[in-house]
């Protein structure tokens, strides 16, 4: 695989990691959403990663083929002080696990940083190659 393939793979990895970070941020931002029990509530989002062949070389990269949304059923909780509570004092809250989101955020950050390091190393290699003839 050439360095150009490494750039393509790393670039795809950075794009995928950024999508993962963005969906995690959306999930965390909406973790405290509340709705009446008669309505749906915020559904968590998760990117779907698909392997891709880069340049026909057999080297595999990744791309985001979509973002899936979870269930809007949420969790029914008792909160009679909420203005959205039904006659029994229940509301529907978003089913967002903060621990799952934070673990995913750490993984996405590590992916992003690893791909950024590959791009930096490729840049260094290109710069060294340009000075060979001098």
pLDDT tens column, 1-18: 566 678 888 989 999 999
Q: 40: which residues sit within 8 A by CB, 6+ positions away?
A: 72, 73, 74, 92
The pLDDT tens digits of the residues spanning 88-105 come to 999 999 999 999 999 999
Are the C-beta atoms of 49 and 16 separated by less than 8 Å? Answer: yes
* Residue 43 pLDDT class (50, 70, 90 cuts): very high
The DSSP code for 126 is H
* Residue 68 pLDDT class (50, 70, 90 cuts): very high
Q: How far apart are CA 38 and CA 87, in angstroms?
A: 11
Percent with pLDDT over 90 in the chain: 74
Q: How far apart are CA 33 and CA 43, in angstroms?
A: 10
- 132/4: higher pLDDT: 132
pLDDT for 107 beyond 60? yes
Q: How far apart are CA 101 and CA 110, in angstroms?
A: 14
What is the model's pTM?
0.86
Task: State the angle between helix axes of 98-130 and 3-29 in degrees (0 to 180), rounded to the nearest 10.
Answer: 160
pLDDT for 125 beyond 90? no
pLDDT in the model for residue 3: 61
pLDDT for 76 beyond 90? yes
Mean pLDDT of the chain: 92
Q: How far apart are CA 107 and CA 49, in angstroms?
A: 14
């Amino acid at each position: 695989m050439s360095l150009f393939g490494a750039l393509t793979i790393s670039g795809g990895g950075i794009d995928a990691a950024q999508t993962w970070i963005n969906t995690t941020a959306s999930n965390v931002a909406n973790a405290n959403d509340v709705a009446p029990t008669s309505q749906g509530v915020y559904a968590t989002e998760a990117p779907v990663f698909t392997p891709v062949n880069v340049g026909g070389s057999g080297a595999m990269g990744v791309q985001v083929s979509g973002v899936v949304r979870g269930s809007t059923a949420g969790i029914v909780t008792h909160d009679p002080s909420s203005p959205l509570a039904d006659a029994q004092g229940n509301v529907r809250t978003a089913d967002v696990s903060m621990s799952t989101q934070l673990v995913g955020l750490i993984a996405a950050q590590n992916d992003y940083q690893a791909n950024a390091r590959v791009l930096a190393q490729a840049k260094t290699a290109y710069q060294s190659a340009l000075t060979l003839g001098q």
